[in-house]
Amino acid sequence: MKKVFNFEVAGRPLSVEVGQLAQLSNGSCLVRYGDTVVLSNVTASKQPREGIDFFPLSVDYEEKLYSVGKIPGGFIKREGKPTEKAVLVSRVIDRQMRPRFPKDLRNDVVIVNTVLSVEQDNSPEFTSIIGTIIALCISDIPFNGPIGGVILGLVDGEVVINPTTEQRAKSDMYVTLSADKEKIVMIEAGANQVPDEVMFDAIKTGHEEIKRIIDFIETIVKEVGVPKFEYESAAVPEDIWTAVYDMAKDEMKNAIQNADKATRDNQVDAVCQNVQEKLAESFPEQKGKIDEALYKLQKKIVREMILEEHKRVDGRSLMDIRQLSAEVSLLPRTHGSALFQRGQTQVLTNVTLGPLGEGQKLDGVDLMEEGKRYMHHYNFPPYSVGEARSSRGPGRREIGHGALAERALEPVIPNEIDFPYAIRLVSEVLMSNGSTSQGSVCASTLALMDAGVPIKAPVAGISSGLVVDEENPDRFITFMDIQGIEDFFGDMDFKVAGTKDGITAIQVDIKVEGLSYEIIRQAFEITKKGRLQILNECMLPVISEPRATLSPYAPKIYQTKIDVDKIREVIGPGGKVINKIIAETGVKIDIQEDGSVYVATSDETAGHKAIKIIEGIAGEVEVGAIFNGKVTRIMNFGAFVEFLPGKEGLVHISKLDNKRVNKVEDVVNVGDEILVKVMEVDKQGRINLSRKDALGES
């Protein structure tokens, strides 16, 4: 039976419908936020998946273009693979939900949010988050909820909950926040150099609204929720754990303490192999469980060293950043390049500049953003972690990390009026041992300055880690610059990028159920100190400001502005005129809706020539101007000459030469290039030219 629950968020109606649609899912609800409608479904397999040591959660966010009244482009005319935006929303939802599932659950869980209708003022991302939480909470799938989520903006210094389209255009930040009633579960943010303390206060403001939403969700769960199903725990059997712990504790602790990742991995592998051989007889056919016990042992040792001894496996103190180095202008033919290294994390970023027309066109449900001129791509090849497998193209992780670096740098990218270029950055991870996304931010800042892009301020990024005492959750310790092993075995990866003045991006991954305000405050303090240290000690000594000139291999952009009513004349029927200019000069031309014209070429002469032609077409033809034109037609009374693409004038037979001309063909033929002078533009716009007068002035 259908039941409807109503609420209000940010002054707009939110309704949840349960019981009518998708009744075979473990949990399902239809959420309406204004005219935005999302169907959220969660399903779980009846049995655990065999042979895995992780919780198999999948999250899909499906954008349907009918939701905004659009027919998909291309030949197939149906939605294809998820857009980049859809992948990013799926990842945001995953990060909120994953910590709230039991750690020993191995049943497949699939979350699907189908976007059915979109009103631009009401975010389908927010609607999907709420729908996912409700579907999980009312289902029989084990889940520790409810939690709640909101989107935060900052308009004129005031925090705005779920900003509208107009507010988003003016907002200095876009923050996706989720929490339970006590702690913060997830933060994902892009910001325009927002001070750390302002961001911290905004999170607390958003948390208060989330508490209201959780109260609403609890009323739904109380009325329609069902008991959670019993599941087969994948926890390591106590007898196997005890045997592994007693046999390998000391040996594993010695093996794990090494600053070099490859050496450490080899030492740990040797210990694990030895334990497997010794326990094979005692625990036959339990190799998988022994492996899990060894993983658990490594985790326990790393955590105890940090929490009890304030010591890390590579010998650093808790607030030490690994050794830093940077280099620019590595590659001679790219428009800008930089290498950044922090310990054994190494990223090479390359910059390519192009005309605005080479920006990316977007096809999704967000009608606010149909294209972008700044693009950041991130590649994580298997060799970066020493794995022998072929690359299969970018996955969700690569898309997510590229988007994070893009978000971190976007606030400092100059606008297209000041710098009329499309900008593509590609970050190649050459070596990975922790926080490659923030390494990409640092390498990219250096590469942009090397390319001569006039960024507003340099950006650096760093991450903070966390270990919480499992026996006493109020006891914890935070630390600077996590490496891979601390990411695997720790409780938090709190990534923050920013300038000296404020935050530009945040992404938080946690393995505990939530973060207290004190943990978040410490994380902000640590990451601010870290990014300033990286900027001052590593990046700025290498290149302190953008280069004054672009690479000689980068295209030069020449600009002009024409009347919007003349755009059609410059383009011509079927693009005939503009294509003729391009063929004649070899340039690339972009014309904006406001009449701005950008000509891209590495040939200065060609650039100026194209601009002159365009201005001639779009401007009023001045009497007395001289052009080099081409004869297009011959009549008895004279010759028609195209003196600008798409513009013709008549040279009367009497104006062809200084002497009398009996026959036009005696002086010119079709295809000849001749100098002509504009003598008159009559009331009907017809143009009279003279070769005789042009010759007299040449």
Contact present, 160 and 126 (Cβ < 8 Å): no
Of 475, 561, 580, 575, the closest CA to residue 518 belongs to 475
Q: Which residues make Cβ contacts (< 8 Å) with residue 676, sequence separation at least 6?
A: 626, 627, 628, 629, 641, 643, 649, 651, 689, 690, 691, 694
Residue found by looking up tokens 């900052």 in the block: 154
For the residues of 6-43, what is the DSSP string, one character each?
EEEETTEEEEEEESSS-TTSSEEEEEEETTEEEEEEEE
Task: Say which residue, 359 or 33, is predicted with more confidence.
Answer: 33
* Rounded Cα–Cα distance for residues 623 and 687 (Å): 9
| Phi, psi angles (nearest 5°) of residue 638 | 160, -170
236 vs 391, more confident: 236
pLDDT at 280 over 90: no
What Rg, from alpha-carbon coordinates, does the chain have?
32
Digit-coded pLDDT (tens) for 617-651? 887 788 888 888 999 999 999 999 998 887 889 99
Q: Contact at 8 Å (CB) between 199 and 523?
A: no
Q: In the prediction, which pLDDT does 215 show?
A: 98
* Chain segment 477-534, per-residue pLDDT in tens: 999 999 999 999 999 999 999 999 999 999 999 999 999 999 999 999 999 999 999 9
pLDDT at residue 684, rounded to an integer: 82
C-alpha distances in Å from residue 81, one per residue of 65, 84, 85, 333, 396: 13, 9, 11, 34, 12
* Least confidently predicted of 29-38, 102-111, 135-144, 257-266: 257-266
Q: What is the DSSP letter of 535?
A: I
Coil/strand/helix, residue 88: helix
Q: Are 135 and 42 in contact (CB under 8 A)?
A: yes
User: Of 660, 634, 647, 645, nearest to 688 (Cα)?
Assistant: 647
Which residue did the predictor score with more confidence, 151 or 682?
Answer: 151
Closest CA relative to residue 178, chosen from 221, 202, 148 = 148
Distance CA 500, CA 36 (A): 39
The predicted model gives 74-89 an average pLDDT of 90
User: What is the reported pLDDT for 617?
Assistant: 85
* pTM greater than 0.85 (yes/no): yes
The pLDDT score that the predictor gives to residue 291 is: 92
**Other residues' Cβ atoms within 10 Å of the Cβ of residue 320:** 13
574 CB-near residues (< 8 Å, 6+ apart): none
Look up tokens 């943990």; give the residue: 519
pLDDT tens, residue by residue, 287-333: 889 999 999 999 999 999 999 999 999 999 999 999 999 999 999 99
Helical packing angle, 124-138 and 196-224, nearest 10°: 40
pLDDT recorded at residue 76: 87
Looking at the DSSP bridge assignments, the partners of residue 494 are 464, 508
Report whether pLDDT(357) > 90: no
Label residue 593 left, alpha or beta by phi (over 0 means left) and psi (-120 to 50 means alpha).
alpha
Is 90 exceeded by the pLDDT of residue 214?
Answer: yes
Residue 160: pLDDT over 80: yes
Look at the alpha carbons of 120, 122, 123, 124 in this order and tell me if their dihedral is positive or negative.
Answer: negative
* Banded pLDDT at 218 (limits 50, 70, 90): very high
Q: Average pLDDT in the 66-92 region?
A: 91
Please check whether residue 82 is in contact with residue 61, taking contact to mean a CB–CB distance below 8 angstroms. yes
Give all domains of the chain, ordered by start, each with its CATH number.
Answer: 3-164+193-224 (3.30.230.70), 238-309 (1.10.10.400), 324-539 (3.30.230.70), 556-618 (3.30.1370.10), 626-697 (2.40.50.140)
Distance CA 441, CA 447 (A): 10
Report the percent of the chain where pLDDT is more than 90.
81
279-288, 366-375, 602-611, 679-688: least confident range: 366-375
Higher-confidence residue of 694 and 216: namely 216
* pLDDT at 166 > cutoff 70: yes
CA angle 631-635-639, nearest 5°?
Answer: 30
Q: Please state the rounded mean pLDDT for residues 588-595.
A: 90
Question: With 70 as the cut, is the pLDDT of residue 698 above it?
Answer: no
Q: What is the mean pLDDT of residues 177-186?
A: 97
Report which residue type is found at 552: P
In whole angstroms, what is the distance from residue 566 CA to residue 13 CA?
Answer: 46
Q: Provide the mean pLDDT of the chain.
A: 94
CA 449: distance to chain centroid? Answer: 20
Task: Give residue 683's pLDDT.
Answer: 82
At residue 685, the pLDDT reads 80
User: What's the mean pLDDT in 559-564?
Assistant: 90
CB 438 within 8 A of CB 495: yes
Please give the pLDDT value at position 613. 87
Whether residue 582 is predicted with pLDDT greater than 80 in this model: the reply is: yes
What's the average model confidence in pLDDT over 234-252?
Answer: 93
